[in-house]
Amino acid sequence: MDLHIFIQQLVNGLVLGSVYGLIAIGYTMVYGIIGMINFAHGDVYMVSAYLSAIAIALLSIFGIASAPFIIFVVLIFTIIITSCYGWTIERVAYRPLRGSTRLAPLISAIGMSLFLQNYVQLSQGASTQGVPNLIKGNLRIGEGNDFVQITYAQGFIVISAIFGMLILNFIIQKTSMGRQCRATQQDRTMAGLLGINTDRIISTVFVLGSAMAALAGVLVTLNYGTFDFYIGFITGVKAFTAAVLGGIGSLPGAILGGIVLGMSESLFSGFINTDYKDVFAFCLLVLILIFRPSGILGKPEVEKV
């Protein structure tokens, strides 16, 4: 085993993992608050990838060439509009079903996911899209053929992901809104009795989760440059795996799970087999759910009789 390849895969895994972590936050927050998987979350991420490409193209029409300015505007634009998508999803596919059977919101969320995929496919075309490379250059450590390469784009992803998580953590831990979110997560009925507008809090959680997915979408678009309307599905399931791995309902768990999953997937495809890397992630999901459903940081669920 070559050390430099190993380190290179770890770096790639860290980058991939921070993206998974960002998306996993959306799953974990929604699950924490309403106890359901938001099946449309992967597609929110997919929509945000399109939005960021559209924003980049839009700015180039106005002849703006400064990369930091473009990235800043693209981030704001994408996060705002994606958050609107998150809000609408909750409003259309979840809120009317509150108090319904357990299966109903699951099915409507899958319907929403199908709708979003097809909607983007119909309006933007089925072909793979791309954006120009905005963050050029890289850092090489090592000599000759044995080197580890970190592109600036990768560095940017990790730093922005950390930054995004810090902001989210601040919102959840320090603001009044965050306190209401945490209260609603612990006991929705009681929070409602204490005058918290739980419907609004649930909407907020969808919006925050979508904003994180939007951040992930922008970062992935900037780094890899290509995407299509189908990316939300596989990435969504993997991000969910990350959320479960870290312990669903736990924010630090989502990030940790994302990084662990990203690194192990990266090592798997680097040293064992690239074709089966998705199979590896799915198998990991199944194994965690069988043997440790509470994940790394999650609390075990006590069944209510």
Partner 1 sequence: MDNNAILNVAHLNIKFGGIIALKDINFHVPRASITALIGPNGAGKTTVFNCLTGFYKGGPGSKLTLSSKNKSNNLVEMLGEGFKLQDFINPPAFVKRIYFKMFGGTHLVCRAGLARTFQNNRLFEEMSVVENLLVAQHMSLEKSLLKGVFQTKDYLESQERALDKAHDWLKFFKLDKRANDIAGELPYGEQKRLEIARAMCTSPELLCLDEPAAGLNPAESAELSELIIRLRDEHRISVLIIEHDMHLVMKIADHIVVLNYGEVLFDGTPAEVRNSSKVIDAYLGKE
Partner 2 sequence: MNTSNIHSHKVSLRLAITDALVAGLIALVLFGPIVGLVLDGYELRNNMGVAFIFVAIITTGRFFASLFFQSPIGVRFLEKFARGRKVRVTVAQASTNKFKKLLLPAIFLAALSYPVIAHVAPDLLGVFGGKYGITIMILALIYVLLGLGLNIVVGLAGLLDLGYVAFYAIGAYWLTIGYAELGLGFWSVLIISPIFAAGCGAILGFPVLRMHGDYLAIVTLGFGEIIRLVLNNWTSLTRGPNGMSAPDVTFFNMLSFNKRGADNLQPFHEFFGLEYSSSFQFIYIYWLLLIVVFLVLYINHRLVQMPVGRAWEALREDEIACRSLGLNHVLVKLSAFMIGASVGGVAGVFFASYQGFVNPSSFTFLESALIVAIVVLGGLGSALGVTIAAIVLTLLPELLREFSDYRVLMFGILMIVMMIWRPRGLVKPVRPAFESDKEQVKQKA
| Distance in angstroms (rounded) separating the CA atoms of residues 29 and 63 | 39
Give the position of tokens 């958050």.
Answer: 83
CB 161 to partner 2: min, Å: 24
The strand ranges marked E within 89-222 are 129-130, 138-143, 146-151
Task: Report the residue number, 101 or 123, with the smaller CB distance to partner 1.
Answer: 101
Q: Which does 289 bind (CB under 5 to 8 A by kind): partner 1, partner 2, none?
A: partner 2
Q: Please work out the total of residues on this chain that contact partner 2, with binding judged by CB under 8 A.
A: 72
CA distances to 20, 30, 257 from 288, in Å: 17, 20, 11
For the packed helices 176-186 and 198-224, what is the interaxial angle rounded to 10 degrees?
110
Q: Is 118 in the site for partner 2 (CB under 8 A)?
A: yes
CB 206 within 8 A of CB 39: no
Q: Which does 299 bind (CB under 5 to 8 A by kind): partner 1, partner 2, none?
A: partner 1
Q: Is 117 in the site for partner 2 (CB under 8 A)?
A: yes
Q: Which stretch binds partner 2 (CB under 8 A): 36-44, 169-177, 191-199, 200-208?
A: 36-44
Q: Which stretch binds partner 2 (CB under 8 A): 100-108, 151-159, 165-173, 175-183?
A: 100-108
CB 179 to partner 2: min, Å: 26
Closest by CA position to 245, among listed 286, 187, 301, 192: 286
Q: Is 282 in the site for partner 2 (CB under 8 A)?
A: yes
Q: What phi and psi, each to the nearest 5 degrees, are found at residue 13?
A: -65, -40
Q: Is 112 in the site for partner 2 (CB under 8 A)?
A: yes
Map the footprint of partner 2 across residues 37-76, applying CB under 8 A.
37, 39, 47, 50-51, 53-58, 60-61
CB 132 to partner 2: min, Å: 6
Element (H, E) at 226: strand 226-227
Q: Is 242 in the site for partner 2 (CB under 8 A)?
A: no
Q: Is 294 in the site for partner 2 (CB under 8 A)?
A: no
Map the footprint of partner 2 across residues 128-167, applying CB under 8 A.
129-132
Q: Which does 183 bind (CB under 5 to 8 A by kind): partner 2, partner 1, none?
A: none
DSSP secondary structure letters along 20-50: HHHHHHHHHHHHHHHS---TTHHHHHHHHHH
Q: Is 264 in the site for partner 2 (CB under 8 A)?
A: no
**Binding interface with partner 1 (CB under 8 A):** 299, 302-303, 305
Measured from the Cβ of residue 250, the count of other Cβ atoms closer than 10 Å reads 20
CA distances to 45, 199, 209, 264, 281 from 269, in Å: 23, 43, 29, 9, 11
Task: Report the residue number, 152 or 233, with the smaller CB distance to partner 2.
Answer: 233
Q: Which stretch binds partner 2 (CB under 8 A): 89-97, 183-191, 207-215, 260-268?
A: 89-97
Q: Which does 143 bind (CB under 5 to 8 A by kind): partner 1, partner 2, none?
A: none
| Distance in angstroms (rounded) separating the CA atoms of residues 293 and 244 | 7
Q: Is 269 in the site for partner 2 (CB under 8 A)?
A: no
